[in-house]
Amino acid sequence: MNDEKIIGIDPGLDTIGWGILRKCGQNLSLEDCGIVKTSSRLPLEARLEKIYRQILNLISTHQPSECAIEEIYLTKKTPTHSNTLQARGVILLACKTSGLPIYPYNPGTIKKTVTGSGKAAKYHVQKFVQLRLNLKKLPVPDDAADALAAALCHLQISTINRKIEEYKKKLMLRREEKKKEFARVLKKAIKSK
Protein backbone atom coordinates (compact mmCIF):
# COMPACT_ATOMS: atom_id res chain seq x y z
CA MET A 1 0.00 0.00 0.00
CA ASN A 2 1.29 3.47 -0.91
CA ASP A 3 2.05 5.29 2.36
CA GLU A 4 3.03 8.97 2.16
CA LYS A 5 3.60 11.55 4.84
CA ILE A 6 3.79 15.19 3.81
CA ILE A 7 4.79 18.23 5.83
CA GLY A 8 3.10 21.40 4.64
CA ILE A 9 4.64 24.71 5.65
CA ASP A 10 3.29 28.26 5.59
CA PRO A 11 6.48 30.31 6.04
CA GLY A 12 6.81 33.50 8.02
CA LEU A 13 9.06 35.15 10.57
CA ASP A 14 6.62 35.78 13.42
CA THR A 15 4.48 32.70 12.83
CA ILE A 16 5.21 29.60 10.76
CA GLY A 17 2.32 27.25 10.15
CA TRP A 18 2.99 23.54 9.73
CA GLY A 19 0.90 20.44 9.20
CA ILE A 20 1.59 16.74 8.75
CA LEU A 21 -0.71 14.68 6.53
CA ARG A 22 -0.56 10.93 6.11
CA LYS A 23 -1.93 9.24 3.01
CA CYS A 24 -2.24 5.49 3.08
CA GLY A 25 -3.84 4.22 -0.11
CA GLN A 26 -7.02 6.26 -0.46
CA ASN A 27 -7.14 7.19 3.24
CA LEU A 28 -6.02 10.67 4.19
CA SER A 29 -5.54 11.77 7.78
CA LEU A 30 -4.20 14.65 9.80
CA GLU A 31 -1.30 13.51 11.93
CA ASP A 32 -0.52 16.84 13.58
CA CYS A 33 -0.40 20.56 12.95
CA GLY A 34 0.58 23.74 14.71
CA ILE A 35 2.71 26.82 14.57
CA VAL A 36 6.23 27.93 15.38
CA LYS A 37 6.31 31.42 16.93
CA THR A 38 9.26 33.75 17.29
CA SER A 39 9.37 36.88 19.39
CA SER A 40 10.00 40.20 17.71
CA ARG A 41 12.07 41.11 20.78
CA LEU A 42 14.75 38.63 19.75
CA PRO A 43 17.48 39.55 17.25
CA LEU A 44 16.82 38.33 13.70
CA GLU A 45 19.61 35.73 13.90
CA ALA A 46 18.12 34.17 17.05
CA ARG A 47 14.68 34.03 15.44
CA LEU A 48 16.06 32.37 12.31
CA GLU A 49 17.98 29.84 14.41
CA LYS A 50 14.83 28.99 16.38
CA ILE A 51 12.87 28.45 13.15
CA TYR A 52 15.63 26.25 11.74
CA ARG A 53 15.85 24.11 14.87
CA GLN A 54 12.07 23.79 15.24
CA ILE A 55 11.62 22.69 11.62
CA LEU A 56 14.45 20.16 12.02
CA ASN A 57 12.74 18.88 15.16
CA LEU A 58 9.38 18.53 13.39
CA ILE A 59 11.02 16.61 10.55
CA SER A 60 12.88 14.35 12.98
CA THR A 61 9.74 13.70 15.04
CA HIS A 62 7.28 13.07 12.20
CA GLN A 63 9.59 11.68 9.48
CA PRO A 64 7.75 13.12 6.45
CA SER A 65 8.76 11.95 2.98
CA GLU A 66 8.17 15.29 1.21
CA CYS A 67 7.71 18.98 1.95
CA ALA A 68 5.12 21.27 0.38
CA ILE A 69 5.86 24.92 1.09
CA GLU A 70 3.98 28.05 0.17
CA GLU A 71 5.89 30.57 -1.92
CA ILE A 72 5.98 34.14 -0.72
CA TYR A 73 4.35 36.72 -2.92
CA LEU A 74 5.68 40.24 -2.45
CA THR A 75 4.08 43.31 -3.94
CA LYS A 76 6.77 45.69 -2.74
CA LYS A 77 10.13 45.30 -1.08
CA THR A 78 10.33 46.23 2.59
CA PRO A 79 12.62 45.14 5.45
CA THR A 80 9.79 42.99 6.80
CA HIS A 81 9.53 41.11 3.51
CA SER A 82 13.28 40.61 3.45
CA ASN A 83 13.15 39.04 6.93
CA THR A 84 10.27 36.79 5.88
CA LEU A 85 12.29 35.63 2.87
CA GLN A 86 15.20 34.86 5.17
CA ALA A 87 12.89 32.81 7.40
CA ARG A 88 11.70 30.87 4.35
CA GLY A 89 15.34 30.31 3.44
CA VAL A 90 16.18 28.65 6.76
CA ILE A 91 13.04 26.51 6.46
CA LEU A 92 14.18 25.37 3.01
CA LEU A 93 17.66 24.70 4.41
CA ALA A 94 16.24 22.58 7.24
CA CYS A 95 14.20 20.55 4.77
CA LYS A 96 17.11 20.14 2.36
CA THR A 97 19.60 19.09 5.05
CA SER A 98 17.02 16.54 6.23
CA GLY A 99 16.92 15.07 2.73
CA LEU A 100 13.33 16.06 2.00
CA PRO A 101 12.25 16.77 -1.56
CA ILE A 102 10.78 20.29 -1.54
CA TYR A 103 7.75 21.28 -3.59
CA PRO A 104 6.95 25.02 -3.63
CA TYR A 105 3.47 26.24 -4.56
CA ASN A 106 2.25 29.79 -4.96
CA PRO A 107 -0.68 30.84 -2.77
CA GLY A 108 -3.08 31.08 -5.72
CA THR A 109 -2.33 27.52 -6.83
CA ILE A 110 -2.86 26.21 -3.31
CA LYS A 111 -6.18 28.03 -2.94
CA LYS A 112 -7.36 26.97 -6.42
CA THR A 113 -6.41 23.33 -5.84
CA VAL A 114 -7.99 23.13 -2.38
CA THR A 115 -11.06 25.38 -2.74
CA GLY A 116 -11.59 25.79 -6.48
CA SER A 117 -10.85 29.52 -6.32
CA GLY A 118 -7.39 31.07 -6.48
CA LYS A 119 -8.66 34.06 -4.54
CA ALA A 120 -10.38 32.22 -1.69
CA ALA A 121 -10.51 33.94 1.69
CA LYS A 122 -8.68 32.45 4.70
CA TYR A 123 -11.96 31.19 6.18
CA HIS A 124 -12.81 29.31 2.97
CA VAL A 125 -9.38 27.66 2.96
CA GLN A 126 -9.91 26.60 6.59
CA LYS A 127 -13.40 25.28 5.79
CA PHE A 128 -12.26 23.23 2.80
CA VAL A 129 -9.33 21.81 4.79
CA GLN A 130 -11.78 20.88 7.56
CA LEU A 131 -14.10 19.16 5.08
CA ARG A 132 -11.34 17.38 3.17
CA LEU A 133 -9.76 16.01 6.36
CA ASN A 134 -13.11 15.27 8.10
CA LEU A 135 -12.19 17.45 11.07
CA LYS A 136 -14.79 18.31 13.71
CA LYS A 137 -13.57 21.91 13.95
CA LEU A 138 -11.86 24.41 11.68
CA PRO A 139 -8.09 24.00 11.79
CA VAL A 140 -6.65 26.94 13.72
CA PRO A 141 -4.73 29.11 13.62
CA ASP A 142 -5.06 29.99 9.96
CA ASP A 143 -1.28 29.61 9.51
CA ALA A 144 -1.63 25.90 10.33
CA ALA A 145 -4.65 25.65 8.00
CA ASP A 146 -2.58 27.24 5.21
CA ALA A 147 0.19 24.69 5.82
CA LEU A 148 -2.34 21.86 5.64
CA ALA A 149 -3.72 23.37 2.43
CA ALA A 150 -0.19 23.35 0.95
CA ALA A 151 0.15 19.65 1.83
CA LEU A 152 -3.30 18.87 0.36
CA CYS A 153 -2.40 20.79 -2.80
CA HIS A 154 0.81 18.79 -3.15
CA LEU A 155 -0.92 15.46 -2.63
CA GLN A 156 -3.48 16.28 -5.29
CA ILE A 157 -0.97 17.60 -7.82
CA SER A 158 1.54 14.79 -7.21
CA THR A 159 -1.21 12.18 -7.67
CA ILE A 160 -2.13 13.71 -11.02
CA ASN A 161 1.54 13.90 -12.05
CA ARG A 162 2.07 10.23 -11.13
CA LYS A 163 -0.93 9.22 -13.23
CA ILE A 164 0.42 11.23 -16.17
CA GLU A 165 3.82 9.52 -15.82
CA GLU A 166 2.19 6.08 -15.67
CA TYR A 167 0.21 6.88 -18.82
CA LYS A 168 3.37 8.08 -20.59
CA LYS A 169 5.15 4.83 -19.67
CA LYS A 170 2.25 2.80 -21.05
CA LEU A 171 2.35 4.80 -24.28
CA MET A 172 6.11 4.28 -24.56
CA LEU A 173 5.70 0.53 -24.01
CA ARG A 174 2.99 0.36 -26.67
CA ARG A 175 5.19 2.35 -29.06
CA GLU A 176 8.11 -0.03 -28.43
CA GLU A 177 5.86 -3.06 -28.92
CA LYS A 178 4.61 -1.63 -32.23
CA LYS A 179 8.19 -0.98 -33.37
CA LYS A 180 9.17 -4.55 -32.53
CA GLU A 181 6.09 -5.91 -34.29
CA PHE A 182 6.84 -3.75 -37.36
CA ALA A 183 10.47 -4.95 -37.38
CA ARG A 184 9.32 -8.58 -37.09
CA VAL A 185 6.82 -8.20 -39.95
CA LEU A 186 9.40 -6.36 -42.09
CA LYS A 187 12.02 -9.06 -41.43
CA LYS A 188 9.51 -11.75 -42.33
CA ALA A 189 8.56 -9.89 -45.52
CA ILE A 190 12.23 -9.54 -46.55
CA LYS A 191 12.87 -13.26 -45.95
CA SER A 192 9.88 -14.26 -48.03
CA LYS A 193 11.16 -12.37 -51.12
Q: Which of 10, 66, 142, 146 is catalytic?
A: 10
Does the active-site annotation cover 142? no
Q: Which has more pLDDT, 36 or 75?
A: 36
The domain of 19 spans 3-189
Written as one letter, the residue type at 138 is L
- Whole-structure pTM value: 0.85
By percentage, how much of the chain surpasses pLDDT 70? 98
Residue from 73, 90, 169 nearest 161 by CA: 169
Q: Which of 4, 66, 70, 146 is catalytic?
A: 70
CB within 8 A of 87, min separation 6: which ones?
Answer: 11, 12, 13, 16, 47, 48, 51
CB within 8 A of 109, min separation 6: which ones?
Answer: 118, 153
Q: Which of 4, 66, 142, 143 is catalytic?
A: 143
Cα(117)–Cα(115) distance, rounded to whole angstroms?
Answer: 5
* 2 pLDDT more than 80: no
Tell me the per-residue pLDDT of 16-42, one tens digit each, with 9 for 90 and over.
999 999 999 889 999 999 999 999 999
DSSP symbols for the chain: --EEEEEEEE--SSEEEEEEEEEETTEEEEEEEEEEE--TTS-HHHHHHHHHHHHHHHHHHH--SEEEEEPP--SS--HHHHHHHHHHHHHHHHHHHTT--EEEE-HHHHHHHHHS-TT--HHHHHHHHHHHTT-SS--SSHHHHHHHHHHHHHHHHHHHHHHHHHHHHHHHHHHHHHHHHHHHHHHHHHHH-
What is the number of domains present in the chain? 1
Tell me the per-residue pLDDT of 171-181, one tens digit each, with 9 for 90 and over.
888 888 888 88
Does the active-site annotation cover 70? yes
Instruction: Indicate which CATH number applies to the domain containing 162.
Output: 3.30.420.10
Residue-level pLDDT at 12: 94
The pLDDT confidence band at residue 193, using thresholds 50, 70 and 90, is low
